[in-house]
Amino acid sequence: MEIEVKASQVLKTGTNKSGEWELIKVTSQDGTEYTTFDKKAKKLGSGAVIDIGEPVIKEGKISFKEVVKVVKEGQAAAVSSGSYQADPIKMASEERRSRMHAIKDLWVAGKLDEKTPEVIKMRKWLMEGQVSPPAAPKKTEPIEDIFPEETEAKSNIDTDWLKETLDLIHWKETTVLSWIKANLKIEATGKLLDVCNKMSAEQLEQFVAKLRDMRDAAGG
């Protein structure tokens, strides 16, 4: 990942088992703030373009391991320590703003999932500021979602049992429809399943009882 440097600053210094260390803040031209322990970063001047590899986001803060490559040299850096006086409230507000915009850019680029805590906080922050959050990265919709599978029509009778019974008693559909019209006194035109679905609970009970009797008589 390449960024164009606006300024660099040493925030903290210390000593550990590996020797002296410096925590350096690098601010990009778009206001995003990064931190690193790479001492080369403090020599970066305004206008420099650097490759920082893949940045790491933790607890809303963005850091990078090292300056992988200086793509373009900038102006001579005026390195300063972190002891200067500044408005702490303004600093906190600007840091939060830069972090949120950096998270937004990474999310739009598809490098962060929308369910991660950082992205959720970023979208809430944008909404609270009455700024429309960016649209989520477009994803190709699965084919099965666009063209859902057709589902079988629901029936109030077991279709497998009905077919098996009619085969067993040797009744054709036309014969069944004629019996329904004569005995149940309902319109029996069209498909048998459609006619069954129009039956009342009492009519359906009479129809099933008739088929069951005939099935028993046929030895089924």
Does 72 share its domain with 92?
A: no
Does 170 share its domain with 183?
A: yes
Q: Point out the domain boundary residue: 82, 112, 146.
A: 82
Does 111 share its domain with 64?
A: no
Does 31 share its domain with 75?
A: yes
Does 68 share its domain with 89?
A: no
CB 101 within 8 A of CB 32: yes
The model's pTM: 0.36
CB 67 within 8 A of CB 8: no
Q: Point out the domain boundary residue: 82, 108, 127.
A: 82
In a domain, 33, yes or no: yes
pLDDT score recorded for residue 129: 62
pLDDT score recorded for residue 24: 93
Residue 211: count of CB within 10 angstroms of its CB:
21
Confidence of residue 60 (pLDDT cuts 50, 70, 90): confident
Q: What is the CATH number of the domain that holds 52?
A: 2.40.50
Residues 124-159 pLDDT 10s = 777 766 455 555 555 544 434 433 444 445 677 888
Given a cut of 50, is residue 83 above it in pLDDT? no
Does 7 share its domain with 63?
A: yes
Residues 11-35 pLDDT 10s = 888 888 888 889 999 999 998 999 9
Q: Point out the domain boundary residue: 82, 117, 146.
A: 82
16-20, 55-59, 137-141, 162-166: which range is least confident on average? 137-141
In a domain, 212, yes or no: yes
In a domain, 100, yes or no: yes
User: What gap in Å lies between CA 95 and CA 61, rounded to an integer?
Assistant: 9
In a domain, 62, yes or no: yes
Q: In Å, how far from its chain's centre is CA 198?
A: 44
Residues 33-45 pLDDT 10s = 999 999 998 888 8
Enclosing domain of residue 168? 159-217
Does 37 share its domain with 72?
A: yes
DSSP state of 47: T
User: What gap in Å lies between CA 151 and CA 105, rounded to an integer?
Assistant: 42
Does 2 share its domain with 68?
A: yes
Q: What is the mean pLDDT of the chain?
A: 79
Residues 87-117 pLDDT 10s = 555 555 677 777 777 887 887 877 777 777 8
Does 3 share its domain with 65?
A: yes
Does 112 share its domain with 165?
A: no
195 by Cβ neighbours in 10 Å (0-12 / 13-18 / 19+) ranks as: buried
Domain count, the chain: 3
